[in-house]
Chains A and B, each alone.
Chain A
Amino acid sequence: MSIAADTADRPLVLIVDDDEDVRSALEELLMSVGIDACSFGSTQELLQADLPERPGCLILDVRMPGASGLDLQHHLASNGNTRPIIFLTGHGDIAMTVQAMKAGAVDFLTKPVRDQTLLDAVTGAIEKDISLRTAARHIKQHIDRYAKLTPREREVLCEVAKGRLNKQIAFDLGISEITVKLHRGNVTRKMQATSVAQLIRIWELLPAEVREKKSP
């Protein structure tokens, strides 16, 4: 199926099920409510496909030939692919459900499934993905902005985030209070924060390994 570029923000649901009938029924149901869907007969097919960066979710059959749905879940997670996963199973296997949920599945539905149940799960998963993506995009911006700070500015930001006063920071860093104020002003501007409180929240959103990097 071709995925046009101008649909980049439209959600796309990826379906993996070895049963062709189930696959096409799922695809058609989603299409009927205006959700783009694309299906694969096996996990290998999915992994080999060139997937567009579009919000959405995965509908996975737990039990398939070759790598199972659970295997795929692990594989995707370890590659940083965060698409929410809805598991479909014919068995309702409790142990498997627990395992999948622990690994981050958003839903676990048993076959046969009601259309509304499935669509609710899909909509929920898509929303979750969109908010996750938005959050991720914001963090990315913060990281990009943080990268533009000088080492001294980073030190000052770190100290500010700890809640220390300007004069304490000045004493610790061996610089004047005025210089600290100058750095703080630069940091707030570069990080595009409107208040100290917001600056601290941005700092906290930064991944730990990013915060550890004192030099660009």
Chain B
Amino acid sequence: MFNSMQIPAEVMGKWQEIVDLLADILSVPSALIMRVEPPNIKVFVSSESKGNPYEPDEAACLNTGLYCETVMNTRRPLMVPDALQDEAWKSNPDIKLGMISYLGVPISWPDGQIFGTICVLDRKSNKYSELYLRLLLQWRDVLQADLRSIATMQREIEQREAKIRRLVDANIIGIIIWNMEGQILDANSEFLRIVGYDQHDLLSGRMSWADMTPPEWRDRTAMTISELKNKRPVKPFEKEYIRKDGSRIPVLIGVASLEGTEDQGVAFVLDLTERKRAEAEARESERRFRNMQMELAHANRLATLGQLTASIAHEVKQPITAALLNTQTAQRLLTRPQPDVEKAKKAIDRAVLNGMRIAEVVDRTHALVRKEPVRKDRLEINEAISEVIGLTRGEVLKNGVQVRTHLAEGLPVIQGSRVQIQQVMLNLIINAVEAMGQISDDRRELLISTQAEADRVLVAVRDSGPGLSDGAIERAFEAFYTTKSSGLGMGLSICRSIVEDHGGQLWATANVPKGAAFQFTVPVSSDYQD
């Protein structure tokens, strides 16, 4: 496993120094570090010393009786003082280069595998003192320490690479290596799946992220490239790719430049198709929910208004009565023997005002009956509440209820739907009136109040009815919970969702000394300025 391992340049430099020193100290022409690369052994580092015949990277075949081969096989130091005098070494290849003496020791990788040798050779007979052997062994230890740290580093890098590889191969996200010219240099299969290309396309080098980017996204992409060039961090962004079949696919992309390369980068690409669809579905179901809520709210308004028909008729009939009386009075004043034009004009003026009031009442009622999307406008809550009090007046009177109002003056404007806020008031008032209708002869009082609180407006509807039990207070806002024989029990639940939709709260408490109090808040319009 270590055979192919790169030795970093700075280590090579240090090793060069070692062999140079070695050659110098021992006064020999050659000091070498050999590295075995089966089936060869090559000169890995060679001393820059006079008369050294070995060039770095020169390779020799193994099994040719080299000195170093023996050292590696025996894993022991070898000293040959004079090969020419030694029967065993007479024919070794180094003699041809004139090297007749040799001192070498083996170098091992941390796992015991042989790396090669460190050795010195001389053209003349040389007995190499014990001191030199020790020196060589010391240097050998230094080299082995280097190998140990290289191996450790290598292992770390490999582990890290394995992790990255696992990530790339897991194909959870698409990963590409790309260059500034627009090419995709590498991509994992998830990326290929996203854009509908295959391995063959990738290997052919034809894949181009620039071509896959739709025209409307080119500016955004150019911006990213320039940010990368300026070494600014680039946040992941959404874009689209054109797939091989011409369709578009939405993706989230994060890019970074590759360290040490000027024009290359890595990018992760996430397929957003599912998420976009889920978002669209969520929007659709939200829309359906809104629609249903609108339908329900509308049905509730109709039901509530249904209870109020007599009251509304009364509310319309009052100004109609006045208008008719005024016009008929005018007729009388004009047709009598001495017509009184002045008074007749005044009567007609009053009739006109009556007519306008009729239109207002009708509009008001119509707004509540109409089914239309909710619009939140700037709203004066007191005015909206007063209108509802007007509409419910007949119902209130029929039930012998006294209405008192404490509407605070100068309330801030709220942001809300007039119809919806009126619907809530309508429900609360009708509920209160009905509740008080159940009690026999006690005073029936309805107190409607508004007041400003920090950043919201508080509206309260208090009655002097039988009140709510603790359990009923908790359950009052549940859908389909009702204590009445008529009605669906949706009223308060709808009211609560309306109020919450306005960013407020609706709750019930006991009223003092008796009855129930329903209160709700609506936040003050953010653009309200005094």
Per the bound structure, the CA–CA distance linking A114 and B320 in Å amounts to 11
With beta carbons under 8 angstroms apart, the residue of B331, B398, B402 that contacts A66 is B402
Interface segment among A4-12, A24-32, A130-138, A199-207: the answer is A24-32
Flag A148-191 by CB within 8 Å of B: 1 or 0 each. Answer: 00000000000000000000000000000000000000000000
State whether B353 touches A63 (Cβ < 8 A): no
**Residues in B299-355 with C-beta less than 8 Å from chain A:** 310, 313-314, 317-326, 328-329, 331-333, 340, 343, 346-347, 350, 353-354
A32-B343, A65-B397 as given contacts; A25 in contact with B350, CB under 8 Å: yes
Interface residues on B, range: 20 to 34
Number of A-B contacts (CB under 8 A): 87
Task: Return chain B residues, CB-CB under 8 Å to A64.
Answer: 397
Whether B325 pairs with A22 at a CB distance below 8 angstroms is: yes
- Given contacts A32-B329, A66-B402, are A22 and B347 in contact (CB under 8 A)? no
User: Given the complex, which residues of A lie within 8 Å of B326, measured CB to CB?
Assistant: 25, 28-29
B398 pairs with A115, CB closer than 8 A = no
Cβ-defined contact, A21 with B357, below 8 A: yes
Asked if A63 and B314 sit within 8 Å, CB to CB, the answer is: yes
For the complex, what is the distance from the CA of A109 to the CA of B325, rounded to whole Å? 13
- For residue B110, CB closer than 8 A to chain A, the reply is no
Task: Say yes or no: A111 contacts B402, CB within 8 Å.
Answer: no
Contact: A33 with B394, CB < 8 Å? no
Given known contacts A24-B350, A25-B326, A29-B325, A111 and B397 CB-to-CB distance under 8 angstroms: no
* CB pair A21 B319 closer than 8 Å: yes
Q: B323 to chain A: which residues have CB within 8 Å?
A: 25, 112
Whether A115 and B332, one on each chain, are in contact in the complex, defined by CB atoms closer than 8 angstroms, is yes
Contacts of B397 in A (CB 8 A): 63-65, 68
A residues 90-109 touching B (CB-CB < 8 Å): 90-91
Do A21 and B353 form a contact, CB below 8 Å, given A66-B402, A112-B321?
yes
- Taking CB atoms, residues of chain B closer than 8 Å to A115 are 324-325, 328-329, 331-332
Q: What residues on B are CB-neighbors of A32 within 8 Å?
A: 329, 332-333, 340, 343, 347
- The size class of the interface chain A forms with chain B is 20 to 34
Contact digits for A51-83, partner B, Cβ 8 Å, 1 yes 0 no: 000000000000111101000000000000000
Name the interface residues of B453-467: CB closer than 8 Å to any CB of A: none
Are B325 and A26 closer than 8 Å at their CB atoms? Answer: yes
Report how far A88 CA is from B340 CA in the complex, Å: 28
Across the interface, do A113 and B321 meet the contact criterion of CB distance under 8 Å?
A: yes
Decide yes or no whether A19 CB sits under 8 A from chain B: yes
Chain A residues near B400 (CB, 8 Å)? Answer: 68
Write out the residue numbers on chain B whose beta carbons fall within 8 Å of the beta carbon of A22. 318, 321-322, 325
Which residues in B have their C-beta under 8 angstroms from that of A90?
Answer: 313-314, 317-318, 321, 394
Min CB distance, A134 to chain B, in Å?
A: 29
Partner among A21, A33, A68 whose Cβ is within 8 Å of the Cβ of B354: A21
Contact present for B313 and A25 (CB under 8 Å):
no
- Contact across chains for A111 and B320 when beta carbons are under 8 A apart: yes
* Cβ A112 vs Cβ B317 within 8 A: yes
Provide the residues of chain A in CB contact with B357, threshold 8 Å.
21
Cα-based distance from A66 to B401 in the complex (angstroms) = 8
For the complex formed, measure the closest distance between the CB of B400 and the CB atoms of chain A, giving whole angstroms.
8
Write out the residue numbers on chain B whose beta carbons fall within 8 Å of the beta carbon of A24. Answer: 322, 350
Question: In the complex, A68 Cα to B343 Cα: how many Å?
Answer: 32
- Whether B398 lies near A25 (C-beta < 8 A) is no
Q: What's the minimum C-beta distance from A100 to chain B, rounded to whole angstroms?
A: 15
Determine whether B78 belongs to the interface, using a CB cutoff of 8 Å to chain A: no
Neighbouring B residues of A63 by C-beta, 8 Å: 314, 394, 397-398
Q: Are A25 and B403 in contact (CB under 8 A)?
A: no
A28 to B347 Cα, complex, angstroms: 8
A25 cross-chain contacts in B, Cβ below 8 A: 321-323, 325-326, 329, 350, 354
Interface of chain B residues 357 through 406 with chain A (CB within 8 A): 357, 394, 397-398, 400, 402-403
A91→B314 contact, CB < 8 A: yes
CB distance from A1 to the nearest CB of B (A): 17
Rounded to whole Å, the gap between the CB of B349 and the closest CB of chain A is 11
A29: contacting residue among B313, B329, B402, CB under 8 A: B329
CB distance from A72 to the nearest CB of B (A): 14
Name the one of A28, A68, A111 contacting B317, with C-beta atoms under 8 angstroms: A111
CB proximity of B359 to chain A, nearest CB, Å: 14
What chain A residues lie within 8 Å of B324 (beta carbons)? 112-115
Within 8 Å CB of A21, what residues of B? 318-319, 322, 350, 353-354, 357
Minimum Cβ distance to chain B for residue A49 (Å) = 21
Q: What's the minimum C-beta distance from A53 to chain B, rounded to whole angstroms?
A: 28
Shortest A117–chain B CB gap in Å is: 10
Nearest A residue to B317 via CB reads A90
User: Nearest chain B CB to A195's CB is how many angstroms away?
Assistant: 47
0/1 interface trace, chain A 35-61, chain B, CB 8 Å (1 if under):
000000000000000000000000000
Name the B residues within 8 Å of A29 (CB-CB): 325-326, 328-329, 332
B320 and A112 contact, CB distance less than 8 A: yes
Measured CB to CB, the nearest residue on chain A to B400 is: A68
- Which chain B residues numbered 262 to 309 have a C-beta less than 8 Å away from chain A? none
Contact B328 A114 (CB under 8 A): yes
**Chain A contacts for B350, CB-based, 8 A:** 21, 24-25, 28
Please list 16 pairs of residues, one from A and one from B, whose beta carbons are closer than 8 Å in the complex, sorted by A's number: A21-B354, A26-B325, A28-B329, A28-B343, A28-B346, A28-B347, A32-B340, A90-B317, A90-B394, A91-B313, A91-B314, A111-B318, A112-B317, A112-B324, A112-B325, A115-B329
* Contacts A29-B326, A32-B332, A63-B398 known; 9 new A-B pairs at CB < 8 A: A22-B325, A25-B329, A28-B325, A28-B347, A32-B333, A63-B394, A90-B313, A115-B324, A115-B332
The 8 closest A-B pairs by CB, nearest first: A115-B328, A25-B325, A21-B322, A112-B321, A25-B322, A111-B321, A90-B314, A90-B317
